[in-house]
Amino acid sequence: METQEISSVNEIAQIDFADENKVLLDVRTPEEFNAGNIPNSVNIDFNSDEFDAMIQDLDKEKTYYVYCKSGNRSTKASQKMQEAGFQHVVNLKDGYSAYQK
């Protein structure tokens, strides 16, 4: 299954994250996350040794919108999540950098 990607901040802004079936997942470090993030996002550090274990606790039926700073870690995290059985994973291709602009 190919990872779906969106790059437009406008597309991201149109997603209703109040919907409990949509999860905004920030895969940057806790330090990066605490310095600024997209509102309502959940932080799971892709570089953490615990990443694989932590995603196992997530609901695989939900849709995950995954982002990092520039799109590199989120692409890898999205692939890992799909390999772990997640059906609905969307990579926010240009990451938090694009959101900030």
Residue 31 domain boundaries: 4-100
pLDDT digits (tens, 9 = 90+) for 7-54: 767 777 788 888 999 999 999 999 999 999 998 899 999 999 999 999
pLDDT digits (tens, 9 = 90+) for 67-83: 999 999 999 999 999 99
3-state SS, the chain, equals CCCEEECCHHHHHCCCCCCCCEEEEECCCHHHHHHCCCCCEEECCCCCCCHHHHHHCCCCCCEEEEECCCCHHHHHHHHHHHHCCCCEEEEECCHHHHHHC
Count how many domains the chain has. 1
Q: How much is the pTM?
A: 0.92
Any idea what the CATH number is for the domain that residue 13 is in?
A: 3.40.250.10
